[in-house]
């Protein structure tokens, strides 16, 4: 058992209680179970904790007792120093560069904390605890891993074997707040009239591909677009972790999971193929990363999905490669034609220099036998001149008129009259 050393009296008390709880025979027996009952462990630990305070005549207020017990349990069965950071809604990102360097992004700005793990072994135990539900082992044999926490937060871990200042942990938190279109408009992610264009496209069943790099706001926009789907539609969502927050009643939520012990892996492709047997009106896929692209581009219902890409051109290159995994014999011209026929809109987001999320391009995709795939920008973000070092102050403005096919879909039923009015204000009377 690790004996902790610390000159801080409060920290010393916490460490002594932790060791006392860990070494108690009843806790040891509960921990030996194949599937430990954390609720029972916490209940028993509460009694042991109270006994320690009474035996050592330690007097604390109710609030102090609760805080101390929470801290001890987060160290014992939780995620130690990371727990309060994960619970803090003002924090969007946590970065751990070795045991003594922990920083966060709070309200869009990076700041260093005073928190420190005792040593690298302490940090590694917490990493192992986070990974345990996956049935995998982190270390020399597998020094890099990427996974999701139960709340949807994305975690990337790197072992000291390949990182001189490791172990390294990066956590990109998943927000539980339901974001709506007004939130994105007020945050400056997208102007209201252009949001109406996306609203119209979703209502009429357009296939929309949301692109951007990590932490650019793809999931938030997908959630907003998903809630534009008509209330009477049957929607199937497909994810690797629970991130969609839709308001429709008729929803089937499917989740992929990796190979764990005796369980076969259930992939996004498996779920897409299964979803088609359910005859949904719409399908939403969290993020396409593999062969499931082939199935997505060949289904006959409206869909929404995302892809990690630096720009729309990069996204199309990635789509070509992923499609060919599922149908490697198909001529490249046929693949590009399929992509152009399947995608109605690409919406690209970027994270700006101060953390703001911006829709920077909205495009159609066309195919030409000679030129291949052609991206037709409808809207494009242009930063204000002489704005170096300042917050973005540019505009997402009209670049080109949409194709007649897309224009007619924007004003077709079930698009509401107020949305049609805003669309026509941008493009003129289309009837």
Q: Is 62 exposed, middle or buried (0-12, 13-18, 19+ CB in 10 A)?
A: exposed
Q: Are residues 171 and 272 in the same domain?
A: no
> Is 80 exceeded by the pLDDT of residue 402?
yes
More confident residue, 167 or 428: 167
Other beta carbons within 10 angstroms of residue 81's beta carbon come to: 22
Q: What is the pTM of this model?
A: 0.75
Instruction: Select from 394, 423, 4 the least CA-distant residue to 203.
Output: 423
Contact 82, 151 (CB under 8 A): no
| E strand or H helix at 367 | strand 357-368
> Is 50 exceeded by the pLDDT of residue 426?
yes
Of the residues 176, 202, 227, the one at which a domain ends: 176
Q: What is the pLDDT of residue 348?
A: 97
> Is 90 exceeded by the pLDDT of residue 178?
no
Q: What range does the domain containing 114 cover?
A: 78-176
pLDDT tens, position by position, 6-37: 446 777 777 777 777 767 666 655 554 445 56
Q: What CATH number does residue 157 fall under?
A: 3.30.450.370
Say how far apart CA 304 and CA 347 lie, in whole Å. 11
Q: Taking residues 94-101, report their average pLDDT.
A: 94
* Two structure tokens written together for 231: 């209330």
Q: What is the pLDDT of residue 411?
A: 75
Q: What is the pLDDT of residue 387?
A: 58
Of the residues 176, 193, 215, the one at which a domain ends: 176
Q: Taking residues 330-348, report their average pLDDT.
A: 94
Q: What is the pLDDT of residue 2?
A: 35
Q: What CATH number does residue 407 fall under?
A: 3.40.50.300
Q: What is the pLDDT of residue 253?
A: 93
Q: Are residues 276 and 418 in the same domain?
A: yes
More confident residue, 67 or 189: 189
As for how many domains the chain has, the answer is: 3
């Amino acid at each position: 058992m690790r004996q902790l050393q610390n000159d801080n009296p409060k920290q010393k008390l916490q460490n002594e209680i932790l060791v006392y709880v860990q070494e108690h025979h009843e806790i040891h027996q509960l921990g030996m179970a194949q599937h430990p009952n954390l609720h029972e462990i916490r209940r028993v630990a509460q009694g042991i904790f109270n006994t320690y305070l009474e035996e050592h005549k330690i007097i604390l207020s109710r609030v102090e007792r609760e805080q101390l017990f929470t801290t001890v349990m987060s160290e014992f069965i939780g995620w130690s120093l990371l727990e309060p950071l994960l619970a803090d809604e003002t924090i969007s990102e946590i970065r751990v560069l070795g045991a003594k360097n922990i920083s966060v992004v709070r309200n869009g700005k990076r700041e260093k904390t005073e928190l420190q793990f005792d040593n690298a072994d302490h940090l590694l135990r917490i990493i192992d605890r986070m990974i345990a539900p996956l049935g995998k082992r982190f270390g020399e044999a597998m020094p890099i891993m990427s996974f999701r926490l139960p709340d949807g937060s994305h975690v990337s871990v790197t072992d000291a074997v390949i990182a001189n200042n490791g172990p390294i942990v990066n956590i990109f938190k998943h927000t539980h707040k339901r974001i709506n279109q007004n939130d994105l408009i007020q945050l400056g992610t997208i102007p209201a009239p252009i949001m109406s264009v996306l609203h119209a496209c979703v209502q009429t069943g357009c296939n929309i591909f949301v692109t951007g790099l990590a932490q650019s706001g793809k999931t938030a926009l997908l959630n907003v677009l998903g809630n534009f789907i008509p209330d009477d539609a049957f929607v199937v969502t497909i994810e690797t972790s629970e991130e969609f927050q839709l308001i429709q009643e008729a929803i089937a939520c499917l989740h992929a999971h990796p190979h764990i012990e005796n369980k076969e892996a259930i992939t996004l492709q498996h779920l897409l193929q299964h979803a088609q047997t359910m005859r949904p009106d719409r399908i939403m896929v969290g993020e396409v990363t593999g062969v499931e692209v082939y199935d997505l581009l060949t289904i006959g219902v409206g869909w929404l999905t995302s892809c990690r890409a630096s720009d729309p051109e990069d996204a199309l290159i990635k789509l070509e490669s992923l499609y060919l995994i599922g149908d490697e014999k198909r001529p490249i011209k046929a693949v590009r034609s399929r992509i152009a026929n399947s995608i109605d809109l690409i919406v690209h987001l970027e994270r700006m220099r101060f953390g703001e999320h911006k829709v920077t391009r909205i495009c159609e995709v066309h195919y030409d036998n000679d030129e291949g795939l052609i991206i037709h920008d409808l809207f494009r973000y242009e930063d204000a001149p002489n704005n170096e070092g300042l917050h973005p102050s540019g505009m997402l403005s009209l670049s080109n008129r949409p194709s007649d096919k897309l224009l007619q879909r924007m004003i077709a039923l079930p698009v509401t009259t107020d949305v049609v009015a805003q669309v026509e204000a941008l493009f003129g009377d289309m009837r």
